[in-house]
Amino acid sequence: VRRSFATALSRGLMFTITSDYIPAQTSYACQQVSFLCGPYSVQNGTYVPEDLNAKPVSQDVAKNQGSQITLACNTGYIAADVGDAYGCQNPSIPCNASSKQYTRTCSGCRWYSTKTCKKIACNFVPASTEYVAGASPLLYGAVATVSCKSGYRAAPIPTGSRGVSSANPSSYNLSCGSPSNEFGYQKTIPAGCNPVACPAFVQPANSQLDLQYSQYTSADPAIKITCSPGYRRSDSPSSFNHACSSVFYAKCEDGKFVYLDTNQTQNPKVLVNVSCVPMNCGSMNDVCGSESCPSSTRAGEIVQNTNTPSGSNQTVVCEMGYRAATPTATPQNICSFPRNFSRSCRYCTLDPNSQQSCQPIQCQASNLVDANGYVAKNAYAYNASIMVSCNKGYRASSNMYSLLNDSTSYSATCLDNCGIKSSLGTACQPVVCSVPNIANANAGFSGPVVFGQNVNWTCQPGYRLAGSQSTYLSPCTSVMRARCFEGYLLYWSHGAYVSQQVPACEPIVGCGLKNDTCGMETCPSPQNVSKNIVDTGLQYVASGSSVTVTCMNGYRASSIYSQYSSCIEPNNFTLNCRYCNFQTMNTSCKPFRCWWTQQSDLNGNVINSSSFATYSSSLTIQCNHGYRAASSSSSFALISDPMYYQVRCSSNCNFEAPQQCKPIKCNLPTLSNLQASSQYLVHGQNSTLSCANGFQNNLTRNSNCSSQTFQALCLNGQLQFSSGAGMSYQPSVSCIPQYCSALHVQDQNFNLSFGVSFPLRVSTSTGFAQIAAKCKAGYRFGTSDILRPNEATLVCHDCTWNTTRLPACQLAQCPLINISLYPNFYKVYDQKFSYINQLQMPYGSNVTIECKPGYSFVSQSSSAMGVVQCTDSGYYPPISGLCQPIACQAFSPPKFSTSNSTSYVFGQKAFYTCQSNYHVPQQTCQTVSSHVSCFADGSWPQVADCAVVDANQSCLYQDMFGSPSFTGSTSFTGSKQITCLSGYAAVETSKQFADCSSSNQRSYTISCSDCQAVHAMHCAPLACALNFSAIPG
C-alpha cells in the first residue's frame, strides 16, 4: 500500500483503508481481544479516573469489551445521574442505602455508565415559620443556619404554655448527614422555631372580646375587640357621611400585643393609643352604623323629636323671635319665613348642609311710627328694649304738649311680628317755651308758645332794640322777634333766630338828642364821629342837614375807600347827617404814606399787611428762604443771623434801610471715602463730589451699580445731595460698598421668590453674591424628572447676575407606575382612558387606577376606579394602599351555628361556632368552630350545616380515590380497610403523588377515635418519572 489513511469510527473497534490497489473502500473490524479495559485499582493512593468518589466492590482485574464492574460510593455520596448537580436530586432514584452502588460497562477502552457518585443532599424542608440562609440544597457535611421568622424563637414550648419566650435565640444550626446517618440531618435545637407567647391580654375598658385562648402567641389570629353599646373607637368618630367604628383587633407579635385596624395579614394598619370612648350621641346604647342624633343645642331651636334615629328626619320649631330662614335671607325679610323645618340625621350628626336654620328676626327702624322720634340703629333683635329718642324741640308725653324737663326718650320693644311697640303709649310732643316780660315793649301775641312758633314785641317810643344801630342808610330798630325752640326762645339776630339772650328796649343814645325816635335820629357833634378834624363847635346836627369840616395837620381829605392820602389832596370835606350818622361823600382825613419797592432788597419781602408805612412808622422786611439779615459789606450770612430787619418812613416819603438779606453759608461735610474741591457753599450753589475708588454713593440704593460722583446743593444753610441731574435730593449721603440688584428672569416657569432681600450686598471675602434659584411648582431645571432637586445657584459679578447658563424650567413628569409592584392594582389608564401597564405623566395630569376584583378605590366607596394626580412632590394621594378590599354581603352562618358579626370585607374570615351537640362537618366532635371567606364579588361560598354529634361516637370519612367511602349518613366505628382505585396507590398523607415503588400498596387502614377518622395514609395518583438525561439534546 503506497499511501493510505485510517479514520477511527469507534475507538479500537473499526477503521477504514483506502488504497490504490483496492478498487473500493473496505471496512475491517478488529477481532475481540482481552484487556480492552484496564483494572479499576489504586494508583498512587487515588482511584483511576472515571469516578474518584467510589471504590470497587470486589478485587478488580482487567476486563474485556462489554464486561461490567460494581462500584460502591464513598461515605457521604450516592449514585446519581451524570447530569445531576448532587445526589438525591432525581426523584426516580431512591435516596437511601440501596442507591449507594452502581455498575459501569467496558466500552471503547473505558468504563462507561450513565451514573456516578454525587454528594448526598439532605431533604430538609423549612417549616412555614423558618427560612434557611445560604446556598440550597444542603449537601453532606455542610452546616446551614435556620432563622426563625418574626414572632418565633428557636426553643421548645414549656409545659403548660402555648408559646416560648422572646428571650430565646432566633436561629439554630442545621448539619447534613453523619457517618452514622448519611441521609439525615441534625438540628442543634430539635424543637425548631416555635411561636413567641404574649402575657395575658388586658381587656380594654367598655369593650367585649372574642377570646379563643387563655394565652396567645404570634401564630394565633388577632383578638377581635368590639366596643360596648354607646362606645366607639377613639380614632373613629362619627360624621354625617361616615359611621363610627367600634371594632379593632389585638395581635400578639413577638411577645407583646399591638392594636390593628383589621385582622388581615397583609399590611394591617397599626393603631396607637386606641380605646373605647363614649359616642355622646342620642342614646346611651347607640352602636356604630346606626348612631342616633342628640337633641339640638343650637340657639333658637325647639326639637320636637329628640334622639332622632340615623336616617330619619328631625322636626325643628323655632323659638319666639326666630324664623326657619335660608342662608340667603336678609334681615328685612326673615319675618316672612315659617317657624318650623325638618333636617336629616345620619350617624349622630345633623345635616350640616341643611338649607334652613332658625335665624333671629330683626325689627327695622322704619317700623317706628313716631314721626318726631328716631332710634340709634337700623335694626334690633327680638324682645330688645329699644330707646326712642325725640327730635329737637320734642319730649316724651301723652299730652298735646310737653315740658322741657320731660324725658327726651321713651322705651319700646321689638315684637315677634317685627313691629315696635311703645311701652308707655306716648309720643314725642312739642316742648312749651317760657315767654319773658320785656320792659318798655308791647307784646304782639297771646296764649302758650310751643316749639317752632314765632312771636314779636315792639319797643315803646323813645326806645330802640338793645344793640340796634342807626346807619346813614337805615334807622335803628324797635321791633323784636323770637322763635320757640326746645323749651326756650331764640331771638332774631343778624338775620336768623340764633340768640338766646332776651332782647331789651334801651334808650336811644349816641345821637344828637335824648328823645330821638327810630327814623328821626339826629347826628352828634362832628368831633364825636370823625377823627383828625378841627373842632366845629356844634353839639348836634339835625337829620337831613350838612356841615363842612377841616383836616388836622399831616392829614388830607381822601376817599373813604383809601387808607392813606397823598400830599396833593385837599384838607376839607362836607358831612351830611341822616339817622344819627354822617355821610362823608366818600371822603375822610387820611395820613400821608411811604412806598416800599422790591428793588430796595431783591432777597427780602415786606411781611406787613401792605408795602407802605405812614410818616415816622416802620415796615418789617423778611429775608427770603436761604437768606439772613447781615451787613451790606458781607458776602454771606450765617444761619444764626436774624431773618428780619426794619425800615422807617422818612419825611421825603422814602425808607431808610440799614441792612440787607445775604445768602446763608453751608460747610461741606468731612466724610471717609469722600473727595471735595472746596470747603463750603452758599445758598443756591451746588458742587460735584466723588466717592473714593471701590465705593458708591448711597443715593441710588435700589439701582445696580450707582456712580461714584454725586451733587451737593446748599439750601437754607443745609446741604442736600442728589445722584445726578433731575434726581431728587436727600438730606445726607455716605459712600457705601456696591450691591447687586433684584434678579429678573424671562422664563415664565421660573420662581422669582429667592428667600433673600434685594439689593444683595456683595461678599467682602468672595467678591460676588449668590442665591438659590427654583422653578415654579411642577417644573425642574433642564429635566422632566419631578423627583430631581428643584434648585440652581446664580452668581452676581460686578453687580450683574449671570443667567446665561441657567437651564430652562421644564415641565416635570411623575415616575412610572409599575403595576407589578402593587398587588391590588388591576389596570392603569392615562387621561385618554387608554390602558397602559406603566405610565409616566406630566405635572398636573391625572391617572386613573382600576383595582383588582374584590377591591375598591379608597376615595370611591363602591367604585373600583379612582384618580391620582401628578403633584410637585409626586403622586397624590400616595399610590400605596389606594385599592382596599370591598365590603362582603351580610354573612349568614350555617344552620345550627352562630356568628359574632355579619359585616366583613374581601379577604377577611367569617368565623362561626356550632351550637351545643353539633360540630363542623368532616371534622372531629370537638371541632365546633370554623371560618369561610367571601368571594371577590362580595358573595359567600356554600357552607355545610353543622352536623349533630353521633351518640356512638361514630366517624365520617371520605377518600375520593378509595373504596369504600363513608359519607353522608354512613358512619363507622373501630377500624376500616380502604382500597385505592385503579391508577392510585396508598402513600403518606404528606405526599401528593405515588411512585412505582409504592404501587404494590393498594390499601390502608383507618380507625375511629374521638369522632375523628385517624389515618396516616391516603390514595394518591401514580406518577411516572422522566429521565431527561437519557434523551439526546
Q: What confidence tier does 33 reach under pLDDT thresholds 50, 70, 90?
A: very low
pLDDT at 632 over 70: yes
More confident residue, 739 or 846: 846
Distances (CA, A) of 936 to 823, 852, 884, 994: 14, 9, 12, 35
Domain ranges of the chain: 42-119, 128-195, 200-291, 301-360, 363-430, 443-507, 523-532+546-591, 594-598+612-663, 666-736, 740-811, 819-878, 887-947, 962-1021
The reply to whether omega before 877 is within 30° of 0 (cis) is yes
Closest CA to 744 of 677, 701, 801, 694: 801
Taking alpha carbons only, the member of 744, 704, 700 closest to residue 723 is 700
* Paired residues of 123 in beta bridges: none
- The class of domain 42-119 in CATH terms is mainly beta
DSSP of 517-551: -TTSPPEE-GGGT-SSB-----SEE-TT-EEEEEB
Q: Tell me: domain 819-878, CATH 1.20.1070, correct? A: no
C-alpha closest to that of 208 among 176, 247, 238: 247
Is residue 138 predicted with pLDDT exceeding 80?
Answer: yes
Which CATH class name applies to 887-947? mainly beta
34 pLDDT above the threshold of 50: no
If DSSP codes are grouped into helix, strand and coil, which group holds residue 717?
Answer: coil
Mean pLDDT lowest among 525-534, 572-581, 959-968: 959-968
C-alpha grid cell for residue 435? 315767654
Pick the CATH number of 363-430 from 2.60.40.10, 3.90.1280.10, 2.10.70.10, 3.90.180.10: 2.10.70.10
Provide the 8-state DSSP code for 367: G
Per CATH, which fold does 594-598+612-663 belong to? Complement Module; domain 1 (2.10.70)
Each residue of 145-163: b (16+ CB within 10 Å) or e? ebbbeebbbbbeeeeeebb
Residue 2 has pLDDT above 50, yes or no: no
- Mean of all residue pLDDT scores within the chain: 82
User: What is the per-residue pLDDT for 565?
Assistant: 84
Mean pLDDT of 746-770: 73
- pLDDT tens digits, one per residue of 60-75: 555 677 788 888 898 8
Q: How confident is the model at residue 45 (pLDDT cuts 50, 70, 90)?
A: very low
Gyration radius from the chain CA atoms: 62
Residue with cell 459789606: 633
Has residue 90 got a pLDDT over 60? Answer: yes
pLDDT of res. 13: 43
Q: How far apart are CA 180 and CA 770, in angstroms?
A: 79
pLDDT at position 44, please? 41
Is 50 exceeded by the pLDDT of residue 21? no
User: Is the model's pLDDT at 25 over the cut of 90?
Assistant: no
Please list the helix, strand and coil fractions of the chain in percent, rounded to the nearest 5, in that order.
Answer: 5, 40, 55
Kind of pairing between the strands at 505-507 and 604-606? unpaired
396 CB-side CA count, 13 A: 17
The neighbouring-strand residues paired with 133 are: 145
Taking the C-alpha atoms of residue 184 and residue 757, their distance in angstroms, rounded to an integer, is 78
Report the percentage of the chain scoring pLDDT > 70: 87
Fill in the DSSP letter of residue 615.
T
Q: What is the DSSP letter of 451?
A: T
Q: How many residues does the chain have?
A: 1033
Query: Residue 819 — φ and ψ, nearest 5°?
Result: -65, -25
Residues 158-165, mean pLDDT to the nearest whole number: 92
Between residues 928 and 672, the one the model is more confident about: 928
509-to-535, 546, 581, 716 alpha-carbon distances in Å: 22, 21, 12, 59
CA distance 737 to 696: 6
Angle at the Cα of 457 from the Cα atoms of 452 and 463, rounded to 5 degrees: 145
Residues 425, 394 contacting (CB under 8 angstroms): no
Pick from 413, 391, 411, 412: nearest CA to 402 = 391
Predicted confidence band of residue 141 (pLDDT cuts 50, 70, 90)? confident
- Measure the CA–CA gap between 808 and 750, rounded to whole angstroms: 8
Residue with more model confidence, 196 or 695: 196
Per-residue confidence band for 798, with pLDDT thresholds at 50, 70 and 90 = low
CATH of 666-736, picked from 3.30.70, 2.10.70, 3.30.200, 1.10.3470, is 2.10.70
Q: What is d(CA 930, CA 910) in angstroms, rounded to the nearest whole number?
A: 8
> How far is the CA of 668 from the CAs of 349, 677, 685, 713, 717, in angstroms?
80, 10, 12, 10, 11
Point out which residues pair with 455 in neighbouring strands. Answer: 482
Contacts of 858 (CB under 8 A, 6+ apart): 866, 877, 881, 882, 883, 884
**Which has more confidence, 523 or 705?**
523
Q: Give the right CATH number for 740-811 from 1.20.272, 3.40.50, 2.60.40, 2.10.70.
A: 2.10.70
Mean pLDDT of 976-988: 88
The DSSP symbol for 957 reads: B
Q: Do domains 363-430 and 666-736 have the same CATH topology?
A: yes
* CA torsion, ordered 326, 327, 332, 336, to nearest 10 deg: 0
> Cell 427780602 sits at which residue?
604
- The partner residues of 176 in beta bridges, in order of sequence, read 185
Per-residue pLDDT tens over the stretch 233-280: 999 999 999 999 999 999 999 899 999 998 887 788 888 889 999 998
Question: In this structure, what C-alpha cell is assigned to residue 895?
Answer: 344552620
